[in-house]
Amino acid sequence: MRRTLIIIAATLLATNSAWAQRKPVVPMSAISEKGRLAGKKLVLYTLRQLDLDKGQCQQARGLIESTIDAEPEADISLEQVYSLMQQMQEAKTAGDKKREAEITQQLRALGKSNTDNLDEFFENLSAILKDEQIITLKDVRARLQRNPSGAVRPVDVFREVEKLGLNEEQKQTVAEFKQKLAEAMRQKKDVKDKDRFQLMNSLLVKTMALLNPDQREKFDRALARLRPDLAYRMRVFTTEEEEKFRDTKKQRKTQAYEE
């Protein structure tokens, strides 16, 4: 299976475009399906998809402060969960059924608190959104139900590309990409993150090369919205803007150190 994925990735990557020199397009943290988005990070990730205007951003931050930040216990602490799971194991080993039941209730309460808090936030958020943003919000939340990690998948790439007004030649090429990937996935047994990483970046490089400059910029921005590794901020950058942002941060750190 892994050999098949490598061959598919190599086929997708075969291009003379300058984009082939820019790899990886996304880091491992953008495609890894380990873990899940939760709490404030999930909220910020979702807001990135909505193209909020300045006023909406301010209102959204206010909702975060009043609904999410105001009740820190609503975000599930991993340390808290690990501690309870350890206690659960100890109770099972000791045959303490009563303690097992108590811990089970505590775990359920954590999950319910988190869910209720998020539901309240998104219900309040909907009141400040435009109709098309509400539709997008529903789509994003449905996607996160299917893919709790938020990891960028090939299906996400194809969905965004198909929004770009492709010409017939581009549509045919994208259809060929889909067919190659489908053939590889039909043989799927166990795809490791490193295989997924290579396959995804090969697909992205080839996709970028297929698009014209205007389409590429739109796709680049759409991809940036979907990246869970960038979920800590609401502002969306293209690849070029992201590089400039990081370079500026490095320069400021260097200047501060020298001073």
DSSP assignment of 202-244 equals HHHHHHHHHS-HHHHHHHHHHHHHH-GGGTT-S----HHHHHH
What range does the domain containing 168 cover? 2-35+149-258
Domain annotation covers residue 243: yes
Band of pLDDT at residue 13, cut at 50, 70 and 90:
very low
Question: Which pLDDT band, with edges at 50, 70 and 90, does 225 fall under?
Answer: very high
**Is the Cβ–Cβ distance between 141 and 43 less than 8 Å?**
no
Backbone phi and psi for residue 9, each to the nearest 5 degrees, phi listed first: -60, -40
What SS3 class is residue 8? helix
Q: What is the pLDDT of residue 81?
A: 64
Q: Into how many domains does the chain fold?
A: 1
The tens digit of pLDDT for each residue in 54-71 reads: 889 989 988 888 778 764
Closest C-alpha to 134, from 144, 147, 146, 124: 124
Percent of the chain with pLDDT over 70: 79
- Pair 24, 206: CB distance under 8 Å: no
DSSP 51: -
pLDDT-based confidence at residue 183 (cuts at 50, 70, 90): confident
How confident is residue 43, by pLDDT bands cut at 50, 70 and 90? very high
Cα–Cα distance measured from residue 156 to residue 166, given in angstroms and rounded to the nearest whole number = 16
Is residue 117, in this structure, part of any structural domain at all?
Answer: no
pTM, 2 dp: 0.70
pLDDT at 15: 46
**Res. 231 pLDDT band, cuts 50 70 90:** confident
Domain assignment present for residue 231? The answer is: yes
User: Is 120 domain-assigned?
Assistant: no
Asked if the structure places residue 214 within a domain, the reply is yes
Is residue 202 assigned to a domain?
yes
d(CA 19, CA 195): 20
Q: What is the pLDDT, as a whole number, of residue 16?
A: 42
Q: What is the structure's pLDDT at 91? A: 84
More confident residue, 88 or 224: 224
In this prediction, residue 2 carries a pLDDT of 55
Give the pLDDT score at 99: 86
CA angle (13 as vertex; 213, 225 as ends), nearest 5: 50
DSSP, collapsed to helix, strand or coil, labels residue 33 as: coil
Report the C-alpha gap between 79 and 40 in whole angstroms.
17
Does position 241 have pLDDT exceeding 60, yes or no? yes
Residue 141 lies in a domain: no
For residue 211, what are its two tokens? Answer: 């698009």
Query: Is residue 155, in this structure, part of any structural domain at all?
Result: yes
Of 192, 209, 191, 259, residue with least CA distance to 15: 209
